[in-house]
Chain A
């Protein structure tokens, strides 16, 4: 555990350096590696009050990584104002100098002190939950970042309560302590989401570290032998990207796979649940062969960059610049890259020298030791965010796999560019334009698969899954309509055309989207939809299964269990209502 605690700091110097400006002033750890491994001997630093400890034999920790998780919500408490949140890491809060020295930034709060704050709120000493969020730094209006912790109906509130919220009187509640990670609001504000992997990775490390310490804490409290408490952990990450290699080889995917596959001797199994994604119909995915080209449409008035990733077929030799792309900006002549060595980049410019786009050569190694060539192309915003900044022309760009590239299929995907409610505006989604791609059939119904589309379209619906979720282990949750238990139209497809490994009901029907979810404040609610809400329902279901002693030792085993419990088990099992409002 010593090495793991050190890893959070030392392996993530990049987060401390903060080149993207994600962290607010005052949130970075000023101690710089003056880390601590052990928990301070302080009762206020205890994970949970004695009456809130889970059963050492049947407990299952639920971890959630998201934006603005309402960690003192009534649904994360037990009777008597006891916090069931064992630990929460507010990555962008003002750094707590007396706590959490192993963290690169922010503030950690533990269950015992949260219980104390809840008790003060109950007696009127603190004016309610909002005061706790302000006191802990979850809401800090002096920070320049958008204070999403103050949002009444934020993403994290809906997700976390679905994954780990229980009625305080529910007998199952105590067995599911919550370890939460609130990402910096600028992560969510970034419409592309591409800055999230490192904070998510540190969040996973945090949850694992604290889960192990929680197990030791339970042993000490119960006078149990060291190493005898090994609670399983289910981690929900309702986040994702739309562009990437989709071969399970990214850092975050490999780490999740390694954590899932290897059994630590002082912790139970760790399982991950991610959303399938909601971009099946958005034309963000294409496949080309060398010499083929496709349109890439950039909307006008977009104040954020647009990006696509191109990944070549696996190859046995080290990268040597085999892959080149030809990019044609509207009204300009085609231009072909000449990238020869890993991590080179070039800038595409107008004849007058104004930059239009960039291309980065990013080959990477596959898990089987082979290599894939990759290029990331980033077009400048079509509307400059500030005066005198350069911009790219909107309209139809063309992207071609240059002639001479090794034969095979090249995977293209456009990066998402989505505005999350409450955050910055001005982001507009780019997409691939292919005349052979049809949105709807002659009756006006949406075409849902490549097979239904017919022909040989370059833009495809298959393999549109969240690019964090193509490893071997994480469960991919798709959303289903409650009316007919079929996958929702936007739910992305895996490489085998399934809309995830399991589905959970989210939307009422095609013409009646949304389900009831919790808001930030206890008692509030909102309407929302998407696979972000399917994943936490499945995480909750998995935690309950693990508490019952079920063995979930592979993704296939999880799916088989879901099939055995599902009234509709084919083609993709629907886990029917793991929790009905207002249970969560």
Chain B
């Protein structure tokens, strides 16, 4: 009886932060597209960020939303 070999392993890289500061409209998709364009030489390459560089981004995003709404009614 022939045993089926184990499938080759795939592995996730060590996590890195996608962003270190808030950019309006930032998203995983935008990050991916930017990297793809950088690989193709169509956009500047981004610096790598520390794994904890994006820790405060959800809070910054919340404050930005509130500021945008406030600005719209001043």
Q: Which one of B10, B61, B70, B71 has the greatest number of beta carbons of chain A within 10 Å? A: B10
Interface string of A77-108 (1 = CB under 8 A from B): 00000000000000000000000000000000
In the complex, how many residues of chain B place their beta carbon closer than 8 angstroms to a beta carbon of chain A? Answer: 51
Q: Which listed residue (A262, A376, A378) contacts B73, Cβ 8 A?
A: A262
Stretch at the interface among A15-23, A135-143, A227-235: A15-23
Q: Mark B1-19, 1 if CB is under 8 A from A, else 0.
A: 0000011111111111111
Are A343 and B43 touching (Cβ within 8 A)? no
- Compute how far the CA of A255 lies from the CA of B25 in the bound complex, rounded to whole angstroms: 13
Closest to B70 in A: A3
A307 at the interface (CB under 8 A from B): yes
Indicate whether A297 reaches chain B with its CB closer than 8 angstroms.
Answer: no
Report whether A12 and B24 are in contact in the complex, using a CB–CB cutoff of 8 Å. Answer: yes
**Binary interface encoding of chain A residues 32-64 relative to chain B, with 1 for a CB under 8 A from any of its CBs, else 0:** 000000000000000000000000000000000
Given A12-B24, A364-B58; 13 other pairs, CB 8 A cutoff:
A1-B74, A7-B68, A7-B71, A17-B23, A205-B72, A255-B72, A259-B72, A332-B10, A335-B9, A341-B15, A343-B18, A344-B15, A346-B12
Shortest beta-carbon contacts, A-B, top 4: A343-B54, A198-B25, A360-B28, A344-B15
Q: Known contacts A255-B69, A307-B29; is A363 also within 8 Å of B23 by CB?
A: no
A350 to B13, alpha carbons, bound, how many Å? 11
* 17 A/B residue pairs, CB under 8 Å, sorted by A: A11-B64, A19-B33, A19-B43, A20-B33, A205-B72, A255-B65, A255-B69, A258-B69, A336-B12, A341-B17, A343-B54, A345-B18, A346-B13, A350-B8, A358-B28, A359-B12, A364-B61
Min Cβ gap B48→A in Å is: 11
Q: Which residue of B lies closest to A265 (CB)?
A: B73
Q: In the complex the two chains form, is B30's CB within 8 Å of A351's CB?
A: no
Given contacts A333-B10, A350-B8, contact A343 B24 (CB under 8 A): no
Q: Interface residue tally of chain A, by bracket?
A: 35 or more
Contact A329 B37 (CB under 8 A): no
- Alpha-carbon distance A345/B67, docked complex (angstroms): 27
Bound form: Cα–Cα A337–B16 in Å: 12
From B7, B9, B55, give the contact of A341 (CB < 8 A): B55
Separation of A254 and B67 alpha carbons in the complex (Å): 12
Q: Which one of A6, A197, A305, A333 contacts B71 once the chains associate, using CB atoms below 8 Å? A: A6
Chain B nearest CB from A398 CB (Å) reads 12
A339 interface residue (CB < 8 Å to B): yes
Beta-carbon contact of A208 and B72 below 8 Å: yes
Q: Which residues of B contact A17 (CB under 8 A)?
A: 23
Per-residue CB contact flags for chain A residues 356-371 toward chain B (1 = under 8 Å, else 0) read 1011111111000001
Given A205-B72, A351-B9: A358 in contact with B24 (beta carbons within 8 A) = no
Choose among B6, B39, B58, B70 the residue that contacts A363 (Cβ–Cβ < 8 A). Answer: B58
Q: Collect the chain A residues with CB atoms within 8 Å of residue B43's CB.
A: 19, 21
Q: Which residues of B lie under 8 Å from residue A564 when comparing CB positions?
A: none
A319 sits at the interface (CB 8 A): yes
Residues of A within 8 A of B72 (CB): 3-4, 7, 205, 208, 255, 258-259
Q: Residues of A contacting B54 with CB < 8 Å?
A: 341-344
* Nearest A residue to B23, CB-CB: A14
Chain A positions 322 through 336: 1 when the CB is less than 8 Å from some CB of chain B, otherwise 0 = 000000010111011
With a cutoff of 8 Å between Cβ atoms, the chain A residues found around residue B10 in the complex are 329, 332-333, 335, 348-351, 356
Select which of B7, B25, B31 is within 8 A of A332 by beta carbon.
B7
Q: How far is the CA of A336 from the CA of B11 in the complex (A)?
A: 8
Q: Is B25 in contact with A192, judged by CB distance below 8 angstroms?
A: no
Q: How far is the CA of A349 from the CA of B34 in the complex (A)?
A: 19
Question: With a CB–CB cut-off of 8 A, which chain A residues contact B73?
Answer: 262, 264
- How far is A583 from B61 in the complex, measured between Cα atoms in Å? 44
Q: A2 at the A/B interface (Cβ < 8 Å)?
A: yes
Q: Would A13 and B24 count as touching, CB distance under 8 A? A: yes
CA A336 to CA B15, docked complex, whole Å:
12
Contacts of B71 in A (CB 8 A): 3-4, 6-7, 11
